[in-house]
Amino acid sequence: MASIDWSQCPAVESIPGKVSGAWVFRGTRVPVSAIFENLKSSPLEEVLENFHVTRDQVQAVLDFAAKSTEATPTPAEHLRAG
């Protein structure tokens, strides 16, 4: 699976020297990866409470990740569709 280009997600930021440059929720020190890891085993409400991020922030990241996994047509496929 291709990696996600988080630079295109307005809900996150990566700043050298801040959490070692990890992608974090904008304006926080909460790594995006921590939310994904914790959602595997904890309910969303618990994750929101433990990490002090909002439901809207998490939803924006989840939506972005979901859209990033959608297949984009190659140029040849695009020409056949048109």
Q: Set out the domains of the chain in order of their start, with CATH numbers.
A: 10-68 (1.10.10.10)
User: Is the whole model's pTM more than 0.85, yes or no?
Assistant: no
- Angle of CA points 33, 26, 6, to nearest 5°: 55
**Greater confidence, 75 or 6?**
6
Q: Which amino acid is at 53?
A: V
pLDDT at 81 over 70: no
Would you state the structure tokens that stand for residue 9, as one six-digit string? 């997600």
Q: What are the φ/ψ torsions at residue 59 (nearest 5 degrees)?
A: -65, -40
Query: Do residues 25 and 11 touch, judged by C-beta distance below 8 A?
Result: yes
**What is the structure's pLDDT at 70?**
81
Is the pLDDT at 21 greater than 80, yes or no? yes
